[in-house]
C-alpha cells in the first residue's frame, strides 16, 4: 500500500491519478491533495478518499474549503495560502507524490518532493525544462526516483529498459499534430482560441492544448528529453502520428526500434509512475488489435510548426533558455486565449523573447535564483513585445 499525495488534484492529470487510485484501492491510499482555487471540487475528492489533509493556495478558496469540510463533518486539515502545498508535504508522510500542477510555479514543490525522497511522478514538464540538471542532481542526492508522466516521456522511459543509454541511436517523439495539423497554413492567422482548444485526441488543460496546436509542447519535450535521458539534441526527432497509439519510440544502434503503444489514455503513464517499478493488473484500459488498423507517420512541416526549432535551440543552450522558453510561451498563450494576439504570433513572440533574454550560444548552467529571475523577465518581455 503506497501513500500518495496529488498536487493539482482538480485538474485533468490529477483527476486521472485519482481514478487510478480508485481502481486499485489495495495498492494506493490517497492521503493529501492540493488545488489552487477549486474549493468545492477538492472537498468532494477529500471526502471520497478520506484524505488526511488538503492544501488550497488561494486564501479565499481555502476558507470556502474549510467551511464546506466542517459542514460535512470531515476531519480534515486545510493548509491555506501561498506555500500551502509545501506545508502539506511537510505535514503528511507519503511514498509517492504526483506533481500535476501546471506552469513554472510548480518548480519549488517539485524540488521539495525530490528532497523528501520516494517517487515523484512528474507531469509538470515545465520544471524539467527550466531546471532539469538541478532536479536530477537533487533526486540523486536525496535518493528520490523521478518518473515522467508525460505519455511520450513515459514511453521513452519504458523503451529504454530494453537497452543501455549508450546504445541509443535516436529517440522518436510522436505527436498528434494538434487541432490544426490539416488546416491550410495560410488560414492559421485566422484561427480562434475555441478552434485551438479542440484537440483531436486528448482532453487536456487550455495551455497544453494550445501548445499541441503550435507544437510548442514538443519543443518543451525535446528539451525535457535531453535532460531526462542524457542524449544530445541531434538524436531527438519529432514524428507526426495522428492516431496517437504509438506514444514514442527508441531506435538502438543495432537497428532495433522499441515502441510503447496503448490507447491514448493518461491513466496508463500515471499508473506506471505511481506503481514503479511494478506493473499491477489494470482493467480500466485495454488494447485491441483493431487499434492497429491504421498507423501512419510523417515528418512535421517546419513552416506549420516553427516552435520545433526553438526546442532544439533550448536543448543545445540549456542555462536559463528553458525558463525563458516556458515563461514566454505561457504569456503568449494567455495573450492568444484572451484575443490579444493571433495564433502564429505565439511562436514568434517566444522566439523574440529568446533572442533578447537568452541569445543562442551564450548559455551556461544556471542557479535556481537565476532561473526564477529569467522566468519573471521573460513573462514581462513576452507580454510587452
Alpha helices in the chain (DSSP H): 12-23, 39-49, 59-71, 84-91, 107-115, 125-142, 151-159, 193-196, 206-214, 216-229, 267-275, 307-317, 321-337, 345-357, 368-384
User: Any idea what DSSP says for residue 28?
Assistant: E
Whole-angstrom Cα Rg for the chain: 20
Confirm if 231 and 253 have CB atoms less than 8 A apart: no
The pLDDT, as a whole number, for residue 363 is 59
* Number of domains comprising the chain: 2
**Residue where a domain terminates, one of 111, 131, 148:** 148
- 89-138 tens-digit pLDDT: 999 999 999 999 877 778 899 999 999 999 999 998 888 999 999 999 99
Q: What is the pTM of this model?
A: 0.91
The pLDDT, as a whole number, for residue 192 is 95
The pLDDT, as a whole number, for residue 291 is 74
Domain that holds residue 142: 2-148
- 179/96 same-domain check: no
- 255/369 same-domain check: yes
**Residue where a domain terminates, one of 86, 114, 148:** 148
Residue 276 within a domain: no
The kind and range of the H/E element at 258 are strand 257-261
CATH value at residue 34? 3.40.50.720
- Please state whether beta strands 118-122 and 96-99 pair in parallel, antiparallel, or not at all (unpaired): parallel
Residue 193 within a domain: yes
Q: Please give the order of strands across the beta sheet that includes 53-56.
A: 77-80, 53-56, 28-35, 2-7, 96-99, 118-122, 144-148
Cis peptide leading into residue 277 (ω within 30°): yes
Confirm if 107 and 131 have CB atoms less than 8 A apart: yes
Residue 111 within a domain: yes
Q: Which residues of the chain have pLDDT under 70?
A: 202, 361-364
- 246/141 same-domain check: no
- 46/75 same-domain check: yes
- 177/138 same-domain check: no
- 281-315 tens-digit pLDDT: 998 888 888 777 889 999 999 999 999 999 999 99
The pLDDT, as a whole number, for residue 152 is 95
- 235/251 same-domain check: yes
Residue 269 within a domain: no
The pLDDT, as a whole number, for residue 99 is 96
**Residue where a domain terminates, one of 148, 167, 187:** 148
CATH value at residue 322? 1.10.1740.10
Amino acid at each position: 500500500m503506497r501513500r500518495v499525495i496529488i498536487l493539482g488534484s482538480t485538474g485533468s492529470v490529477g483527476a486521472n491519478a485519482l481514478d487510478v487510485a480508485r481502481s486499485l484501492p489495495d495498492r494506493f491510499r490517497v492521503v493529501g491533495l492540493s488545488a489552487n482555487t477549486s474549493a468545492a471540487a477538492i472537498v468532494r475528492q477529500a471526502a471520497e478518499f478520506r484524505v488526511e489533509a488538503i492544501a488550497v493556495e488561494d486564501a479565499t478558496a481555502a476558507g470556502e474549503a474549510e467551511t464546506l469540510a466542517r459542514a460535512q463533518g470531515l476531519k480534515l486539515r486545510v493548509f491555506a495560502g501561498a506555500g500551502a502545498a509545501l506545508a502539506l508535504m511537510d505535514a503528511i508522510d507519503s511514498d509517492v507524490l504526483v506533481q500535476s500542477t501546471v506552469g513554472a510555479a510548480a518548480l519549488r514543490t517539485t524540488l521539495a518532493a525530490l528532497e523528501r525522497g520516494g517517487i515523484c511522478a512528474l507531469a509538470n514538464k515545465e520544471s524539467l525544462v527550466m531546471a532539469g540538471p538541478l532536479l536530477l542532481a537533487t533526486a540523486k542526492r536525496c535518493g528520490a526516483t523521478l518518473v515522467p508522466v508525460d505519455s511520450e516521456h513515459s514511453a521513452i522511459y519504458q523503451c529504454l529498459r530494453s537497452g543501455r543509454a549508450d546504445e541509443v541511436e535516436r529517440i522518436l517523439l510522436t505527436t498528434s499534430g494538434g487541432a490544426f495539423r490539416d488546416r491550410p497554413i495560410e488560414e492559421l492567422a485566422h484561427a480562434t482560441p475555441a478552434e485551438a482548444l479542440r484537440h483531436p485526441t486528448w482532453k487536456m488543460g487550455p495551455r497544453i492544448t494550445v501548445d499541441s496546436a503550435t507544437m510548442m509542447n514538443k519543443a518543451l519535450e525535446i528539451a525535457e528529453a535531453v535532460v531526462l535521458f542524457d542524449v544530445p539534441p541531434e538524436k531527438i526527432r519529432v514524428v507526426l502520428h495522428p492516431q496517437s497509439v504509438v506514444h514514442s519510440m527508441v531506435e538502438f544502434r543495432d537497428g532495433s526500434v522499441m515502441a510503447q503503444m496503448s490507447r491514448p489514455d493518461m491513466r496508463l503513464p500515471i499508473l506506471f509512475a505511481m506503481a514503479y517499478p511494478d506493473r499491477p493488473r489494470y482493467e480500466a484500459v485495454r488494447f485491441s488489435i483493431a487499434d492497429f488498423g491504421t498507423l501512419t507517420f510523417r515528418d512535421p512541416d517546419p513552416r506549420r510548426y516553427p516552435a520545433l526549432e526553438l526546442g532544439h535551440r533550448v536543448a543545445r543552450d540549456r542555462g536559463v533558455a528553458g525558463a525563458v522558453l516556458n515563461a514566454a510561451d505561457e504569456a503568449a498563450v494567455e495573450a492568444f486565449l484572451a484575443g490579444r494576439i493571433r495564433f502564429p504570433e505565439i511562436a514568434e513572440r517566444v522566439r523574440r523573447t529568446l533572442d533578447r533574454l537568452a541569445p543562442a550560444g551564450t548559455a551556461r548552467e544556471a542557479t535556481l535564483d537565476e532561473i526564477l529571475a529569467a522566468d519573471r523577465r521573460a513573462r514581462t518581455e513576452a507580454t510587452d513585445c
